[in-house]
């Protein structure tokens, strides 16, 4: 049967908009670093009849009856997650990445407590203590970030801040940091001040699975993540943790129990079982050699894109990338990050404007553009394709003043190029 056949019949407006979005995504270069493509199997599980079921609680400890099968589904997701990441404990119920992080606060901190995290303007996530987010409203962020001149963390400086401020928890994770994060070094600092160390791997989980980025699991008390983004699963969050609490060995509940209680009943009601089933499927797919190849290729593509742009004279924050993303640094350019991102989008290159280290422009315009390779890699693009992508980016940036004239042509070229890569986005 034709995909979405029922929707097409009963709600043509939504059906048509979904089709249009899908065509838009597959005829443009999807370079938002937090996006990729979920497999059709994942999408089928998301759209399954599990949407109809309530199952507050956890497997074999529910507040509703009739959970024989959904218990098996959630247990499978948990077991696969443990195996995939080598974690002692897994919670697959967070509705998304932000609620997963919220559960960490509820499990570890009291209102007003200090935590160390990166401000959004330095590449951190909203939930790492940003002032307009619950995490900055209810808790006290001690900020840290990459050095304005090198674009990289200075661990001595971070240690100094930690020793002075003595936060109860340290976040290690980012939304816009193109370099590797050394969790071992963060752990040494956390140990010195008796703080919890929590990694947020939403952006880089596939690189960790493939063994091409340092693994936080041995060093961190808790690891939080999303399952969409480069993992190619459903839009959801999950938590990995140690079972024992190394800072409060005598507390009545261990760390794993506190996390589970923070998610339910602390923050959420019924788990989204269709999404949990899809997460289990994504975890299964992530165990395959093909997935590792995809993760390795993401970084190869990002490095080739960086190399090609550097060769054309562009500046990249930190001089390049070790991950899936790069930050084009337009601090010296006549145009802003926002103007560049808009011109790129008009031309069929979809990314986002972003602050860069040492940025003097406001967060509403910025001096940077963040580019990611997960979605292009999922579509099947390789290094030579990245050279072509760099050519298009260069054409847009060199013609910013006459973009209205150039964009339609570039957009058509990109659409023709993208049509060679099939199999993603359904
Ligand atoms: C995306 C992201 C999140 C939050 O995910 P949502 O699902 O959008 O709530 C949390 N932390 C980091 C580092 C992220 O990149």
Residue 54 known to be catalytic: yes
Indicate if ligand 1 lies below 6 Å from the C-beta of 96: yes
Rounded to 5 degrees, φ, ψ at 366 are 60, 170
Q: What is the mean pLDDT of residues 20-43?
A: 96
Measured in Å, residue 125 CA sits from the centre of ligand 1 at 7
Residue 56 known to be catalytic: yes
User: What's the pLDDT at 423?
Assistant: 61
Indicate if ligand 1 lies below 6 Å from the C-beta of 127: yes
Measured in Å, residue 104 CA sits from the centre of ligand 1 at 13
Confidence label for 34 from pLDDT (cuts 50, 70 and 90): very high
Helices (H) and strands (E) in the chain, counts: 16, 14
The structure tokens listed for 8 are: 């097409």
- Whether residue 110 is predicted with pLDDT greater than 60 in this model: the reply is yes
Ligand 1: atom nearest CA of 173 is 13
Q: What is the mean pLDDT of residues 327-355?
A: 97
User: What's the pLDDT at 207?
Assistant: 98
DSSP 313-328: T--BGGGS-SSSEEEE
User: What's the pLDDT at 426?
Assistant: 44
Q: What is the mean pLDDT of residues 161-176?
A: 98
Q: What percent of the chain has pLDDT over 90?
A: 96
Given ligand 1 and candidates 33, 35, 92, 98, which is best to mutate, with the most ligand atoms within 8 Å of its CB?
Answer: 98
Q: Which residues pair with 115 in a beta bridge?
A: 141, 169
- Whether residue 1 is predicted with pLDDT greater than 90 in this model: the reply is no
Cα angle: 205, vertex 207, 210; to 5 degrees: 110
Measured in Å, residue 355 CA sits from the centre of ligand 1 at 17
Residue 24 known to be catalytic: no
- What is the three-class DSSP state of 197? strand
Distance separating alpha carbons of residues 264 and 56, to the nearest angstrom: 8
**Cis amide leading into 374 (omega within 30):** no
- From atom 5 of ligand 1, which residue's Cα is the shortest distance away? 97
Tens-digit pLDDT profile for residues 115-139: 999 999 999 999 999 999 999 999 9
Measured in Å, residue 321 CA sits from the centre of ligand 1 at 20
- Whether residue 425 is predicted with pLDDT greater than 60 in this model: the reply is no
* Helical spans, DSSP H, in 215-336: 255-261, 273-286, 289-311
Q: In 3D, which of 227, 348, 335 has the Cα closest to residue 279?
A: 227
Q: What is the mean pLDDT of residues 312-320?
A: 96
Mean pLDDT, the chain, integer: 96
- What is the three-class DSSP state of 56? coil
Q: What is the mean pLDDT of residues 24-36?
A: 96
Q: What percent of the chain has pLDDT over 70?
A: 99
Distance separating alpha carbons of residues 175 and 186, to the nearest angstrom: 18
User: What's the pLDDT at 2?
Assistant: 81
Catalytic residue, chosen from 121, 226, 321, 377, is: 226
The structure tokens listed for 372 are: 């990611």
By mean pLDDT, which of 7-21, 88-102, 412-426 is the weakest?
A: 412-426
- Whether residue 243 is predicted with pLDDT greater than 70 in this model: the reply is yes
Based on C-alpha coordinates, what's the Rg of the chain? 22
Confidence label for 250 from pLDDT (cuts 50, 70 and 90): confident
Distance separating alpha carbons of residues 295 and 202, to the nearest angstrom: 14
């Amino acid at each position: 049967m034709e995909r979405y056949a029922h929707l097409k019949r009963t709600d043509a407006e939504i059906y048509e908009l979904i089709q249009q979005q899908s065509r838009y995504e597959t005829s443009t270069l999807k370079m938002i670093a937090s996006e990729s493509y979920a497999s059709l199997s994942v999408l089928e599980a998301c759209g399954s009849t599990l949407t109809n079921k309530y199952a507050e609680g956890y497997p074999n400890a529910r507040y509703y009856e009739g959970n024989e099968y959904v218990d098996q589904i959630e247990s499978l997701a948990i077991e696969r997650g443990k195996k995939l990441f080598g974690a002692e404990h897994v919670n697959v119920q967070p509705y998304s990445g932000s609620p997963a992080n919220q559960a960490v606060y509820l499990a570890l901190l009291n209102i007003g407590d200090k935590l160390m995290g990166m401000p959004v303007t330095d590449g951190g996530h909203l939930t790492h203590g940003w002032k307009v987010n619950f995490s900055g409203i209810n808790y006290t962020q001690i900020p840290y970030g990459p050095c304005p001149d090198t674009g990289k963390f200075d661990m001595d400086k971070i240690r100094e801040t930690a020793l002075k401020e003595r936060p109860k928890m340290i976040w290690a994770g980012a939304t816009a940091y193109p370099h590797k994060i050394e969790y071992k070094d963060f752990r040494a600092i956390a140990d010195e001040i008796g703080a919890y160390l929590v990694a947020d791997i939403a952006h880089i989980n596939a690189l960790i699975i493939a063994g091409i980025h340092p693994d936080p699991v041995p060093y961190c008390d808790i690891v939080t993540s999303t399952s969409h983004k480069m993992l190619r699963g459903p839009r959801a969050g999950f938590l990995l943790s140690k079972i024992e609490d190394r800072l409060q060995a005598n507390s009545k509940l261990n760390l794993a129990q506190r996390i589970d209680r923070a998610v339910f009943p602390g923050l959420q009601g019924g788990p989204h079982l269709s999404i949990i089933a899809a997460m289990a499927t994504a975890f299964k797919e992530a165990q395959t050699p093909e997935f590792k190849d995809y993760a390795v290729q993401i970084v190869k593509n990002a490095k080739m894109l960086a190399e090609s742009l550097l060769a054309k004279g562009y500046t990249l924050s930190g001089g390049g990338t070790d991950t899936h993303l790069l930050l084009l640094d337009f601090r010296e350019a006549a145009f802003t990050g926002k103007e560049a991102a808009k011109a790129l989008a008009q031309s069929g290159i979809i990314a986002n404007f972003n602050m860069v280290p040492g940025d003097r422009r406001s967060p509403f315009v910025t001096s940077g553009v963040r580019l990611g390779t997960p979605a292009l890699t999922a579509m099947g693009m390789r290094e030579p394709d990245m050279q072509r992508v760099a050519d298009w980016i260069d054409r847009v940036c060199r013609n910013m003043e006459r973009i209205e004239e150039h964009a339609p042509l570039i957009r058509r070229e990109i659409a023709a190029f993208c049509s060679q890569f099939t199999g993603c986005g359904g």
